[in-house]
Amino acid sequence: MMDNILNWNPQFFREIKGRVKQRNIIIASVSSVVTQLLIVLYYLGELPDIDLGVTQRSRYCFGFVKSYSSQHLCETDRLGDWVINWQLFWLDIFICLSIISIFSLLVVGTYMLIADLTKEESKGTLNFIRLTPQTASSILTGKILGVPIMLYSVILLALPLHFAAGLNAHIPVSLIFGFYAATIASCAFFYSAAILLSLLNFAPVGFKAWLGSGAVLFFLVSATGIAMHTHSVSNTALDWLIIFYPGRVLTYLVDATYLSNTTVDYFHSNGLTSLLFYGQSWWVKPGMGISLILGNYMLWTYWLWQGVKRRFHNPTNTILSKEQSYWLTGWFVAISLGFTLQTTRNYHLFHNFILLQCFLLVMFLGLIAALSPHRQTLHDWARYRHQLGKEGNKLWKELIWGEKSPSTVAIAINITIAVVYILPSLFLFPFKGDLSHVLWGLLISASVILLYAIIAQLILSMKSPKRAIWASVSILSLIIVPFVCLALADASLGDATLVWLFTFLPTAALKHASLSTVMVAILGQWLAIALLGFQMTRQLRQAGSSETKVLFSSSNVN
């Protein structure tokens, strides 16, 4: 059977051969067993001491509990034995093991995958694999299964204790498997993101692994904190982020034990039931809720995989094709708007909408990075477009669908898709007096994003090896500097409204802006877009001129 598995995926075979060594197996086994032992010993230490006769308090006793304390007074039965809440004891061990497993799998696994792939890319060995008849999916699935193989074995060794703890906590088996499914799906999602990150050329080789795993660690720490909190649902688009945390499923498992919220004191049962999507409460039933969480992971793993496949075979490709970006924007806006429209209260709606704009900004920054070709590709496109064009040599077709054309028109189309999708909800939901502010806000932030896109594309056509870093720094400066200036000037939303209208969050200040200020801001942004567009066209024309033309023009200058 082992031979069949190894034959199935050559990359998995290579990782097994390189990593499964006696020394590694011993280290993995010992670390898993020792960790389990330490966890069990810690929780056993929380039980009342058998030999100690004095009054004792413990989380696992049933007696009187003081207010603002989780420690119950311990009592004995008629035989003199301590009465212990064993269900809670096992639930604590189950949850502790679950969270440690999630952190280990996602943080350490992400680090290992990025470190391995960036090392292969920098050494040049990945090129040989690219030249074989294997597909990207086959190679990278082998990597995902094989690179963290020792980490998997550590987790698998802890599985019997985890499962037994779950059963002793009276958690239904189906829900335990639901949690396992969510954890596996989260691994697929985060590992695909890790692979995509390692195939991008934007940072030093050693830094990428720390950056990727650091970002995952930050997300998990924040999400665990929020998910364990009593009020873990904010009824904003932020709730969407939290369902990317596999530990979110644990809410259903804790709820299924029928232990009271005050006894358990984490993963409260209202954690997911109050979550809405387009006003519908889909997360009330565990089966449906877990399925939606799995569906969310699958959808975004699919999109990450599209980028991974393109970059694996051709590292000079943009991460997404223009056509793919239109679909991706559709999905993103549809889902984020679903979580934005969780309330019908005017005040909340307005703030939810501002948060939605932040989400859209992040998505568009990602799209700008994913769609903008770099200098060489742009120059080749400008020079040989007429000979290579697959779109019938029509410029507008090239700009909308072409693989190597500049990204600006495609970004403009993506913005249009987002605006067209969001607009009806503005009229259907009770924004009342805020409607005009939200409408203008949408228009101005669309212009600002288009401005960012064209600036990024211009910088990416610069003659500098660090153009990607320059582009990132410039755009981030454009986003952050206005806010820093406003903060330093101690300006409120009512002051310097024109400056506010040049940030990515103009909606907040629109309540205080006059129509003339709004018009000045829009005209200013459009003028900037037109000038930068003109500059880019000029640059591309220059890059597209033939060698003979360049020679003649330089000799004319001389």
Residues at the interface with other proteins (CB under 8 A): 7, 10-11, 13-14, 17-18, 123-125, 127-136, 309, 313-314, 316, 375-376, 379-380, 383-384, 387-388, 463, 547, 550
Shortest gap between Cβ of 231 and other proteins (angstroms)?
A: 48
Q: Is the Cβ of residue 206 or residue 465 nearer to other proteins in the bound state? A: 465
Q: Is the Cβ of residue 76 or residue 314 nearer to other proteins in the bound state? A: 314
Residue 383 CA to residue 317 CA, distance in Å, equals 18
Q: Is 405 helix (H, G, I), strand (E, B) or coil?
A: coil
Residue 251 CA to residue 303 CA, distance in Å, equals 28
The four Cα atoms 326, 304, 279, 358 give a dihedral, to 10 degrees, of: -70
The four Cα atoms 220, 222, 226, 227 give a dihedral, to 10 degrees, of: 0
Q: Is the Cβ of residue 18 or residue 160 nearer to other proteins in the bound state? A: 18
Closest among 267, 253, 264, 250 to 59, alpha carbons compared: 264
Shortest gap between Cβ of 125 and other proteins (angstroms)?
A: 5
Q: Is the Cβ of residue 130 or residue 512 nearer to other proteins in the bound state? A: 130
Q: Is the Cβ of residue 20 or residue 443 nearer to other proteins in the bound state? A: 20
Q: Is the Cβ of residue 52 or residue 131 nearer to other proteins in the bound state? A: 131
Residue 412 CA to residue 155 CA, distance in Å, equals 46
Q: Is the Cβ of residue 21 or residue 285 nearer to other proteins in the bound state? A: 21
Shortest gap between Cβ of 17 and other proteins (angstroms)?
A: 5
> Per-residue DSSP letters for 312-342?
HH-TTS-SS-HHHHHHHHHHHHHHHHHHH-S
DSSP 74: P
Residue 212 CA to residue 208 CA, distance in Å, equals 6
Closest among 363, 358, 307, 354 to 331, alpha carbons compared: 363
- Lookup: tokens for 389: 């064009």
Q: Is the Cβ of residue 447 or residue 461 nearer to other proteins in the bound state? A: 461
Closest among 369, 508, 520, 543 to 449, alpha carbons compared: 369
User: Is 213 within 8 Å of 111 (Cβ atoms)?
Assistant: yes
Shortest gap between Cβ of 540 and other proteins (angstroms)?
A: 14
Shortest gap between Cβ of 546 and other proteins (angstroms)?
A: 11
Q: Is the Cβ of residue 78 or residue 463 nearer to other proteins in the bound state? A: 463
User: Is 116 within 8 Å of 142 (Cβ atoms)?
Assistant: no
Shortest gap between Cβ of 327 and other proteins (angstroms)?
A: 20
User: Is 372 within 8 Å of 457 (Cβ atoms)?
Assistant: yes
Q: Which position has the token pair 């009465």?
A: 83
Shortest gap between Cβ of 428 and other proteins (angstroms)?
A: 44
Shortest gap between Cβ of 117 and other proteins (angstroms)?
A: 14
Alpha carbon of residue 138 to chain centroid = 24
Shortest gap between Cβ of 324 and other proteins (angstroms)?
A: 15
Residue 263 CA to residue 45 CA, distance in Å, equals 19
